[in-house]
Structure 1
Amino acid sequence: MAATLEAESTLTDRYQTTVPETVRRALQLGKRDKIHYTIRPGGEVVLSRAEPTQPADPVLGAFLGFLAQDIAQHPERLQAIDASLVQRLQALSEGVDIDLDAALSADDE
């Protein structure tokens, strides 16, 4: 039978705490990882490592990183969107209903 580990931490004035090292190791937590809390009827709280809902898209991540770097290095290249372009885009998409949560069809995959 595995040994039970116990740990303790203190809340700050802003209700924040540091996750003790033994807990981080047991849950294999790294920086920026998320923690899931399960609160049971008797007041017991179970901490577990939250699993990401969707895997990160490496191509999209690389593209967004490229954009962020380019904006940081060349902020003078940023331009406001022209009001006439916004009006044109709104006219082109008027009456088009899109469900962003709907699954893609096999043709669109």
Structure 2
Amino acid sequence: MPTTLEIESTLTDRYQTTVPESVRRALQLGKRDKIHYTIRPGGEVVLTRAEPPEGDDPVIGQFLTFLALDIASHPERLQAVDASLVQHLQSLVGGIQVDLNAALSVDDA
């Protein structure tokens, strides 16, 4: 029979808590992951890792997290986009209509 591990954490004045490391490891939680709570009739609460909504791309999420951390760590690297670059890009794609909800063709996939 598997051993049950019991762990405690404390609520702050703002009703926040830190998820203990052993729980994070067991649920394979990383920064910005979501937690799902199931409240059972007897008052028992089951904590599980929330699955990302269908259609979310985990690679994009990881890239955006990386980008946010890099910007926070090195704000001196941020540069304004030059107006001439914006004009050049608009001249390249200006009249193209794109339906972001349309399915990709076999050639595009």
* Short-chain TM bin: 0.5 to 0.7
Shift of 1:11: 1.6
Partner residue, 1:73: 77
CA RMSD of aligned residues (A): 3.6
Unpaired stretches in structure 1, ≥5 consecutive residues: none
What TM-score, normalized by structure 2, do the two folds share? 0.54
- Structure 1 residues 34-80: Cα deviation after superposition (integer angstroms, max 9, x where no partner): 133132342432222345543416xxx4xx96xx6xx94362x5224
Give the gaps of 5 or more residues in structure 2. Answer: none
Q: 1:5 matched to which residue of 2?
A: 5
The residue correspondences of 1:1-109 to structure 2 (distance < 5 A) are 1-30=1-30, 32=31, 34-42=33-41, 43-51=43-51, 53-56=56-59, 61=63, 72-73=76-77, 75=79, 78-80=81-83, 81=86, 89=94, 92=95, 96=97, 98=99, 100-109=100-109
Residue 97 of structure 1: how far off its partner (Å): 6.8
Q: Please report how far the alpha carbon of residue 2 of structure 1 lies from its aligned counterpart in structure 2 after TM superposition.
A: 0.8
Aligned residues: 90
Q: CA shift at 1:107, angstroms?
A: 1.8
* Inter-CA distance 44–104: structure 2 relative to 1 (3 Å threshold): farther
Q: Distance in 2 between matches of 1:4 and 1:25?
A: 15
The 3 A distance-change label for structure 1 pair 105 and 45 is: farther
SS for the counterpart of 2:59 is coil
Look up the SS of the partner of 1:56 in the other structure: helix
TM-superposed CA distance for 1:12, in Å, is 1.5
Quote the sequence identity (%). Answer: 49
CA shift in 2, pair 1:16/1:74, >3 Å: closer
